[in-house]
Structure 1
């Protein structure tokens, strides 16, 4: 199969789970014998632009005609079987959909967040869940509240793009990959075409390091931001410390707007280690040495890579009982769920997961089994290719796609359909 992946890469200044998912899916497809090319823009390149170019960039967020022309030309020349769209903000824009239509190539899109119904894509504002724009024909509430970067002006291009391109997205994409059932339910209730929304969880590569003992620390690994629950975690940890602690340290790895606050809070404490940003190898090693990974997010996470990574290493998670976490973590079986935004509940779960090593080991084994059944590369590849085939069959008028073969190749019946899009060359 020939696949063109479309993605606007996030800034390298902040590690991006979405960039990682794109890179890992590309590698997975190529390893299975599929031909994958990239059509990319990089947010890092914005810094080198002229002042005039930077000033006019917001005007191109809703629609970038140059991107449409460039991508159309490439699609007509290369004739991929399918285009897989990820992030298009801020340098690509929904003009990529028009390019796919111009060239007659079916498109699928992974929805990594809630940007189809919420301009900043978080469903979170001022420390609380927010759904003011969900199901609305306009995104004026987001502008009024300055939901993107706390700026009304910065929110305007996103709100305009959402309003003017909503129908183009919904009609121009054959299949939307939702990365959790919780996300799909919210998007379907918002009015998105339910028949085009399918659940395809992110996969996680099988790590070389797995937990072999009981673990030596509790680990928070992620962005240091209010929505990720880092302040909630600090409050819960202070409650535990006041009661004598849990006997192991809390390790916090990451960066973000609350880094200075976390640094000051951790300074001089024996029970907390703030280590800043770690490279991926160091992160995997730290996960494998954890008693549990903590994911206390205040917002409705669409997936939660760190939870799946913990499962892959045979480590349970302590996570907030909302969003995708309730389908990733079975409470008391593969980890523990705490009441969202409740520091006392989080503290109780942290105490329990550290105080019962036998139960912890069993949860770790169950977490690993859950990973193998739902989030391994083999499962990820099967669901990804199945989605591509369904999208291509739908565009070619063939109805439902044939079942995938075991090695990821296509049979003769499938080859006849794919040839309409240059699949058998």
Structure 2
């Protein structure tokens, strides 16, 4: 089987988890005998040196003729059975879907963020969830300047969504949309994507770390130190948790402020800054628990899976996809967002009831293996590809979906 896998990489100065997921999925398919054809664009190649070039980029963001022509030629040359898209912004654009349709290739689109229904892409404003534009006019986005805080930049994003709605791109060109959670799928349906073509598949880890012992005696936070990540709530809660050390891994605009809060309050908090993955994984494996205090809608954070792979339970906000991902008492506990007292209470309960308990950590790890291993992900991906080809075949004759045997990456 041939799969055309497409992705627009973010800037190397601001890498995204989407880039990692794309690479992992590409490796997973190739390891299981699928011939993968790559179509990739890179934001590092974007030239925004003049106003005219920025305007041209904005105008092409809705529909790129260059992408349509390049992808059409690639399809004719390679004859893929299906095309699977990850990020299409800003260079690939929905014109890529049209190239596939016009050449008889079924389309799968993974929805890593809310860009097709929200000009700001995150359903977030001023660090908090916002759904003003969902299922309605996009005018609030212009009023609030939701993309980069700039009116013209926001106008370009509004135009991209509006133009593709009018063109019918979202409703007619994609055979299967893949949301990361049921919560996200619900937001997309409310925003106008076709209910019957939405399915759910979370992220996975290609090379999960080994189980950890949880013997470090500390809690850990791994992520960006910014408003929407709930880091102020995190430190406020630690005023009530002085007997539990907290390690904070990551950097961001609030780092200096948080360090000052911890210093003034004499909190048991250690700021480790950015660390490479090979250093973070052992830290997670030794932690009693991981805290994810986000006050925005998260997609499907890879840090959650990395914690679970090490057997480490998660204390997460009861908000958006996190509320769905974390199973109470099975893989962690949940607390009321932006509530330091409730967060402190849930951390203390988890430490008191399960802190470092071998059997509980084994259960967390086993749940990861059952649902988020490479084997589990590939099985579900095959089903989604079959569904997309079946949907496409209703209007076009397609070759039958080939049977694929798992190989290369063993099931746990």
Q: TM-score, normalised by structure 2?
A: 0.90
Q: What residue in structure 2 maps to residue 197 of structure 1? A: 198
Q: What residue in structure 2 maps to residue 415 of structure 1? A: none
Q: What residue in structure 2 maps to residue 172 of structure 1? A: 173
Q: What residue in structure 1 maps to residue 38 of structure 2? A: 38
Q: What residue in structure 2 maps to residue 161 of structure 1? A: 160
Between 22-31 and 180-189, report the one with greater CA deviation.
180-189
Q: Is the 8 A contact 1:386 1:404 kept in 2?
A: no
- Unaligned runs of 5+ residues in structure 1 are 410-425
The alpha-carbon deviation at position 362 of structure 1 amounts to 4.1
RMSD: 2.5
The alpha-carbon deviation at position 191 of structure 1 amounts to 2.9
Q: What residue in structure 1 maps to residue 101 of structure 2? A: 101
Q: Is 1:152 matched up with 2:151?
A: yes
CA deviation string 1:306-349 (max 9, x = no partner): 11221111110000112122222121232110011212111222
Select which of 370, 374, 377 maps to 1:373. Answer: 370
Q: Is 1:302 matched up with 2:302?
A: no
Q: Is the 8 A contact 2:236 2:340 kept in 1?
A: yes
Q: Is the 8 A contact 2:316 2:333 kept in 1?
A: yes
Between 80-89 and 348-357, report the one with greater CA deviation.
348-357
Q: Is the 8 A contact 1:385 1:404 kept in 2?
A: no
CA deviation string 1:24-68 (max 9, x = no partner): 000000000101122111112226866643453222211221121
- Cα distance 1:271–1:345, how it changes in 2: closer, same or farther (>3 A)? same
Q: Is 1:283 matched up with 2:254?
A: no
- Cα distance 1:284–1:299, how it changes in 2: closer, same or farther (>3 A)? same
Q: What residue in structure 2 maps to residue 228 of structure 1? A: 229
The alpha-carbon deviation at position 259 of structure 1 amounts to 3.4
Q: What residue in structure 2 maps to residue 132 of structure 1? A: 132
Select which of 258, 262, 267 maps to 2:258. Answer: 262
- Cα distance 1:143–1:360, how it changes in 2: closer, same or farther (>3 A)? farther
Q: Is 1:25 matched up with 2:25?
A: yes
The alpha-carbon deviation at position 132 of structure 1 amounts to 0.7
The alpha-carbon deviation at position 280 of structure 1 amounts to 1.8
The alpha-carbon deviation at position 283 of structure 1 amounts to 2.0
Select which of 374, 386, 390 maps to 2:387. Answer: 390
Please give the alpha-carbon distance, in whole angstroms, between the structure 2 residues aligned to 1:222 and 1:247.
Answer: 19
Q: What residue in structure 2 maps to residue 5 of structure 1? A: 5
Q: Is the 8 A contact 1:253 1:277 kept in 2?
A: yes
Q: Is the 8 A contact 1:255 1:276 kept in 2?
A: yes
- Cα distance 1:235–1:317, how it changes in 2: closer, same or farther (>3 A)? same
1:355-374 to structure 2, matched below 5 A, reads 355-358=352-355, 360-374=357-371
Q: What residue in structure 1 maps to residue 140 of structure 2? A: 141
Q: Is the 8 A contact 2:4 2:38 kept in 1?
A: yes
Q: Is the 8 A contact 2:7 2:86 kept in 1?
A: yes
Please give the alpha-carbon distance, in whole angstroms, between the structure 2 residues aligned to 1:358 and 1:270.
Answer: 21
3-state SS in 1 of match to 2:320: coil
Q: What residue in structure 2 maps to residue 414 of structure 1? A: none
Q: Is the 8 A contact 1:228 1:296 kept in 2?
A: yes
Please give the alpha-carbon distance, in whole angstroms, between the structure 2 residues aligned to 1:207 and 1:359.
Answer: 20
CA deviation string 1:240-294 (max 9, x = no partner): 25xxx0332x121223333343344455856222222211212222211211111
Between 219-228 and 374-383, report the one with greater CA deviation.
219-228
Please give the alpha-carbon distance, in whole angstroms, between the structure 2 residues aligned to 1:124 and 1:158.
Answer: 15
Q: What residue in structure 2 maps to residue 80 of structure 1? A: 80
CA deviation string 1:125-170 (max 9, x = no partner): 123321111111x311111101122222221111111111133022
Aligned residues: 403
The alpha-carbon deviation at position 361 of structure 1 amounts to 4.2
